Structure 1
């Protein structure tokens, strides 16, 4: 075990200390000292920037920064994704062959070409003869490379005989929607041409991969829906004005035909339940891929801004939800609009987007919240009173008012944290263009007297209320950049 040791200077001083002490056993002359201890403790020392706050946004919202450092919040939400199989209907068909040649409608007039990815040609044939008969089954204007689909079957007896052939990979080149079905039957032994006793063809399970032509004028109800944005539902907003907000409808179209979108109306539902309906005026003509762009998607953007709609002031007043109703019109100009094409993968999708530059002003934006807080176990002893010291470097162009209210179990107001509603923080100064020029430095000493400390054990609920406003109580437009920051130091000095 290592023993404690004294250094040489300490050993030399030790006799002097011992012999200089005088003992006095009269304790009656001792006095009770007066103590006034204080305890100082740091509570908060933090720094947060606007960039840190913006990281909390969800997947549908992201941040863009321009060359000048101006931040914009960009939001996008898919509204609908539609495909219209009814644009080209290919129902099952039964073709009775009353003669050796029958012209029969297969596709609607105006369709000039259909490339099939699947389908079946069926036959049901009776020759009525007891000898072998060779039958040629032929469809004109159908084929992969040739303009004819031709197959052969041999009937060994009078029948009936059923069978089928695949039409996958074949092309239909209809004229006026019709194609020609034929058969030719001959005795296998002599080659003599004969008529069949019965012949019936069928087309089943046809599906296209590509089609072109004029598809007709259809109106498709794209439905009505809504998206809950819950902007401002928990806030009290006064005097909000955004400098240049934009709402966009982004339409992605891979149908190679003319389409017009009618946005029949937009309905804004405010947090207090009031509805405001906005017509969008003219219809939107949707861009579409040309024949040289088969398989590509063309994007059309319709923008709503302050100059072309009254919807922006409604959004500034607070928004709980946004609802809409759309319809689509194909070939709105009729056959004069020209022909086009569709693929089995063609789709039309609509997204709603918003771009909100963080440039604007607000006279007041307040939020209140009640918090259950049973402080019955809190004791003011040994803490008699104290002070909170707050040091803030505010790099945001907002002032801040904060108040806390203490309520007992019956909801009776006991006290408040502050005696006045003066702003706790002053805003950063801005230049003539609204850019942040200089952070504001604030220091506050907040007294917590003994009578206020005594309220705490009776508190069951705390009401918090905070409000902000931009520079000069919302009279000056300001801009936010990622460099905007807030540094906070909070300490407690308690008297024991």
Structure 2
């Protein structure tokens, strides 16, 4: 079970250059009151503590860029990238259409018989190849009316009582009512149940027709027309066989921020995986069809994600009873996919195009059910546990540090002192480059030929692959000469480059990054300022 973080986030590499943000011009206004004073050049060196902090992994990375962070029972940290493939309620997959059915009844001789019984089937026209056996309505209206113009013209009256057989209204009585030639009938279907005849997609209605009055029988036989309609029907639940409905699930992609700003890297994950998670409350066999499923990188290279158990369909579990939800987790890992090949291209996205199908085997003997609140959702998660090794993982980021360019002219030199105690099993080299208006690098903070080795890796146990002790490195002194300070002032922008390697990566030893690892940072700065004081100041 992975648990998500809910903590603040820092752009951690920026910590290294925070010292440059803390320098402000000296205020010499208190000397204004001194008159007739000869010009005097003042020189002073100041030491100021800037940072003393202990950072976790959640402080060190920006989860908006690199993905969500979760932990498991071991406190092992996972990068989790989630995407919703599909989410739809029942009515978007299966709905009821309005129904209309008309039929005629012949009245041979009203004078010899005044009451007639007629049983007529109301055929339900399906949207697809479904076969319905039972519907409980959420809402809707059953409307019925008749036409008997000649019968009425000859002086007769007509009244009809009706009952929908094998039905139940909200009050538990059969759905029934009465109508005539001048008064149609409407029945509210809310909470009503209608049972359908076996495999016919129809239900039966019993009509009792009563003819009254004295008319001229010379125009017999008479023909009356009865019109029925199901208006705006909506279901609470349905039983039956819904056919092989195919529905679009959708196409989208998951962005993987891990390699978004990475230039060079050999990263090996011990246990990467992709989970396809389905939540289904449709009471019908269901399957997914992945038409496309691939990963791509910053160089527009792509590779198909091949799943060795994949057939024409990926089957989704269905619930046993209305109101239940069935979960299906399809785990794609090293044992059944080419996920190592996928990770080798340093993917920045995973793309998928999926459709779904009810009753993929076409077995109409399987009874289906569906509730109006039934729901189908499909999520895809790319899970990267921080368990593995890294060789030359290089991150670059453009920084907007405009205040650095405003360093006061009185500064002659600066020296930053950095002390770090590292509990993480990785080392890091850091460089801050200065760029001109054409985004060309013309200088660097730490100097040539190599970036500064700021962080030394903490050792790990070769069996558990967990850090055994923290490493405290000797203080690092970063000197900024006047020329370096001038470069900073003249820079149009800055590029931060951080190069990571895990402990003993050259021996292919994997490590685990746990939630309780910390890195301690203490930073201070010494500044030499030189100012000329005169009676004009």
- TM-score scaled by structure 2? 0.74
The answer to whether the 8 A contact 1:374-1:460 is kept is no
Work out the CA distance in 1 between the residues paired with 2:379 and 2:361.
25
Shift in Å, 1:276: 2.2
**Contact 2:306/2:338, CA 8 A, preserved across alignment:** no
Rounded to whole Å, the distance in 2 between the matches of 1:124 and 1:230 is: 68
Q: Look up the match of 1:448.
A: 480
Question: Within 5 Å, which residues of 2 pair with 1:336-351?
Answer: 338-351=366-379
Separation (CA, whole Å) in 2 of partners of 1:444 and 1:405: 19
CA-based RMSD of the aligned residues comes to: 3.4
2:124 paired residue number: 106
Instruction: Name the CA distance, whole Å, in 2 between partners of 1:220 and 1:454.
Output: 64
The reply to whether residue 436 of structure 1 matches residue 467 of structure 2 is yes
State the match for 1:208 in structure 2. Answer: 235
Of residues 143, 162, 165, the one that matches 1:121 is 143
Count of residue correspondences? 453
In structure 2, the residue matched to 1:240 is 267
| Partner Cα separation in structure 2 for residue 233 and residue 47 of structure 1 | 27
Deviation track 1:347-371 (CA, whole Å, cap 9, x = no partner) reads 2111122333221111022122445
Query: What is the alpha-carbon distance in structure 1 between the residues aligned to residue 447 and residue 278 of structure 2?
Result: 53
Deviations 1:318-355 (A, max 9, x none): 33322211122222222366212111222211112233
Query: Which range moves more in the overlay, 441-450 or 141-150?
Result: 141-150
Q: Is the 1:252–1:348 Cα contact (8 Å) retained in structure 2?
A: yes
Whether the aligned pair in 1 keeps the contact of 2:411 and 2:527 (CA below 8 Å) is: no
Q: Distance in 1 between matches of 2:155 and 2:42?
A: 130
**Paired residue for 2:162?**
137
Q: 1: distance between equivalents of 2:441 and 2:194?
A: 83
Q: State whether structure 2 residue 77 is matched by structure 1 residue 50.
A: no
Determine helix, strand or coil for the equivalent of 1:492. strand
Residue segments in structure 2 that go unaligned for 5+ positions in a row: 1-40, 107-117, 530-537
Residue 481 (structure 1) aligned with residue 508 (structure 2): no
| Match in the other structure for 1:39 | 46
Within 5 A, what are the aligned runs for 1:403-418? 403-407=431-435, 411=440, 413-414=442-443, 416-418=445-447
Kindly indicate whether residue 184 of structure 2 is the aligned counterpart of residue 162 of structure 1.
Answer: yes
Higher relative contact order (CA 8 A, sep 6+): 2
TM-fit CA distance, 1:161: 4.5
Q: How far, CA to CA, are the matches of 1:414 and 1:95 in structure 2?
A: 88
The CA distance in 2 between the partners of 1:44 and 1:370, in whole Å, is: 23
CA distance, structure 2, for counterparts of residue 57 and residue 404 of structure 1: 22
Change in 2 beyond 3 A, CA 1:336/1:312: farther
Is residue 334–residue 340 contact of structure 2 (8 Å, CA) maintained in 1?
A: yes
Q: Once the 2 structures are TM-superposed, how far is the Cα of residue 130 of structure 1 from its aligned partner?
A: 2.4
Cα distance in 2, alignment partners of residues 414 and 166 from structure 1? 81
CA contact under 8 A between 2:243 and 2:364: conserved in structure 1?
no
The range that moved more, 449-458 or 73-82, is: 449-458
Structure 1 residues 184 and 236: CA distance shift in structure 2, 3 A: same
The Cα shift of 1:453 comes to 4.4
1:15-40 Cα distance to aligned partner (Å, 9 max, x none): xxxxxxxxxxxxxxxxxxx9985432
Q: CA deviation at 1:456?
A: 4.4
Structure 1 or 2, whichever has the larger Rg, is 1
Match of 1:424, SS?
strand
State the 1:413 CA deviation.
1.8
| Deviation digits for residues 386-422 of structure 1 (CA, Å, limit 9, x no counterpart) | 5332211111111111122334557472555223425
- 1:82-128 CA-to-partner distances (Å, cap 9, x unmatched) read 24546454432132224544334125563221122323222123242
**Kept after mapping to 2: 8 A contact 1:258/1:337:** no
